[in-house]
Amino acid sequence: MGIRPPTPLLVILAAAFCAQARAQTCTGFGSLLGSKYRVDLSAARYTYATAVRASVTTGRSLFATLGVGATRDGELDASTYDLSAQVGYDVPMGEEPITFCPELSVSYSLGPYDFMLNDGHFTYLDAGVGLSLAGIAVRTGRVTVIPAVGAHYSRLALKRVVSAEQRENSVQGWVKTDWYGVLSAGVGVVIDDHLVLRPGVTVPLGFVPVRHESYDDWIVPFGREDGEVSLNLTVGIRIGRRGRQAR
Amino acid sequence: MRRRSEVDWLPLACSLVLGPVFCFGCGDLFGPERFDYVRPQLRSLSIDDMGTRLLDGGVLYLYAAPSDTAFVLDRNQRVPLEVAVSSGDRETVVLYNVHCPSRERIPGRFQCFRLNLAMREGHHASEVAGRLSAEHGRFLLISATGWFAAVVFFSPEDPIGRARRARSWPGVALTELTPLVCAGTSCPSLTVPVALDASAATPGDGVVQANAGDTLSVSYRQPTGGLLQLRLAVP
């Protein structure tokens, strides 16, 4: 099975960069009404691995995020390098300040290489849909607090790419696919409309149990464990001030 | 209109925040963590002295079977054991899982302390003795012609990384993580290999010094307070 980027998603992503709508609050990062971009740096601690990520978000109601990252499992001496994109649409629910957003996401990960001393490498392609919901809990003169929750459902394709030497030894590459879900929650703290701190947790669910000595059922996002509650922390800085607009 | 004084602190605040953000995730990125001692209830201790003296001394394998057959140490946990020799040596050694990685949901698990080496044609395993010693390892077995060696390391840290490093040792053709030999609930699941030398006692140096006629005892203090002990007469 070949892995191709989902073209409709790329079209939506491109459109999002041109969007002129109103706000982006549903993921807990607060509105981008006054800024053109938000740059985020994040770190997540999983049971056995650590991930760091940098991303840029732009748009207003229709928003898009492009990110790069790395996930490292020290015990396995293995890393993946990730490129991700996400689009969402912020929908106010009745009276402000509660909003929700449907989201589409896609990510491509390269690695790990030479995994467990087996030559070759892996690639991951992950495409998913989700919903996030957030509301402004506290708003003072300088600080806004935005709790947020989300649920995402993804299709993961894991491809094993064998080396030329492995091919000579009749080792076959393969592609496996599976569905899994991720529940998330976090609290965004927006300071002076410039700085965003967002601690959060994620819980992936629905991985197939793995038999110890076989790759047959091994189809999980790199570094994640089924049902683990992992902590993450994101720091966002808004840049590129927009002209003041009436809401 | 925002006053200047309200935004000047942002660069400082960002610096203060970004540092912790990355330290939050730096454990796996920049090095191993410290480990914690734990004391599970053990049902038995055993010794495997198959590590006969080769080029570089001997290896004594200590094994323990927890009462809870599902017990597995986390990556940063160790179980302390006391080793005493009648001629005066005393060492504290720490047990770790026989099998790595410490998780079960992974294909291709292997023995944490072991590695197999295959040498290139015309090379003998003895050529890597210095490199092996520098990585705190010893030979467990060398084939008659020297093309193959089973080696043991005295720490379970970074087994895959050091297997990769061993590939660059002179004369080494390939390295192989040693597959599991016993994975049932009746197998001991904790182990530690200990360097064994026939020389004068040096307590606390991490090497057990024992000579013919000595008695070697291994002791473990159970969480309930009882003492689990095993004795071996050195032939």
pLDDT in tens, A54-70: 999 998 889 999 999 99
**Closest residue by Cα to residue B169 from B213, B97, B117:** B117
User: Structure tokens of B127?
Assistant: 């050529």
Write the residue in B18, B107, B158 that is nearest to A213 by C-beta: B107
pLDDT top residue among B212 and A214:
B212
For residue B14, what is the nearest residue in chain A, using CA coordinates? A195
Best probe of the A interface among B24, B109, B111, by most A CBs < 10 A, is: B24
Best probe of the A interface among B74, B160, B167, by most A CBs < 10 A, is: B160
pLDDT top residue among A166 and A187:
A187
Q: Which residues of A touch B176 (CB under 8 A)?
A: 117
pLDDT at position A1 over 50: no
Contacts of residue B57, defined as CB under 8 A and 6 or more positions apart, other chains included, come to B138, B195, B196, B197, B207
Chain Cα centroid distance, residue A170: 36
- ∠ CA A116-A118-A121, nearest 5°, is 95
The DSSP H or E segment spanning A95 is: none
The DSSP H or E segment spanning A130 is: strand A121-135
For residue B174, what is the nearest residue in chain A, using CA coordinates? A117
Is A194's CB within 8 Å of B175's CB? Answer: no
Is B28's CB within 8 Å of A114's CB? Answer: no
pLDDT at position B25 over 50: no
Q: Which residues of A touch B21 (CB under 8 A)?
A: 41-43, 233-235
Is A117's CB within 8 Å of B175's CB? Answer: yes
Give the number of A-B residue pairs with CB atoms closer than 8 Å.
109
Is A192's CB within 8 Å of B32's CB? Answer: no
Looking at CA atoms only, how far is residue B33 from chain A in angstroms? 10
CB atoms within 10 A of CB B182: 11
Best probe of the A interface among B12, B26, B106, by most A CBs < 10 A, is: B106
Q: Locate tokens 């599970």: which residue?
A: B40
Query: pLDDT band for position A168 (50/70/90)?
Result: confident
Is A41's CB within 8 Å of B18's CB? Answer: yes
For residue A217, what is the nearest residue in chain B, using CA coordinates? B107
pLDDT digits (tens, 9 = 90+) for A103-159: 999 999 998 998 888 888 999 999 999 999 999 888 888 899 999 999 999 999 999
Q: Which domain holds residue B39?
A: 4-233
Chain Cα centroid distance, residue A204: 12
Which pLDDT value is given to residue A111? 86
**Closest residue by Cα to residue B204 from B59, B91, B93, B95:** B91
How many independent structural domains does chain B possess?
Answer: 1
Q: pTM here?
A: 0.79
Whether residue B199 contacts residue B53, with contact meaning beta carbons closer than 8 Å, is answered with no
Query: pLDDT band for position B8 (50/70/90)?
Result: very low
Q: Which residues of A touch B110 (CB under 8 A)?
A: 116
**Closest residue by Cα to residue A51 from A102, A124, A159:** A124
pLDDT digits (tens, 9 = 90+) for A179-225: 999 999 999 999 988 899 999 999 999 987 766 566 766 788 999 98
Which pLDDT value is given to residue A117? 87
Q: Which residues of A touch B101 (CB under 8 A)?
A: 48, 75-76
ipTM score: 0.73
- The strand pairing partners of B164, in sequence order, are none
Cα–Cα dist A183/A109, whole Å: 21
pLDDT at position A233 over 70: yes
Is A195's CB within 8 Å of B17's CB? Answer: yes
Query: pLDDT band for position A236 (50/70/90)?
Result: very high
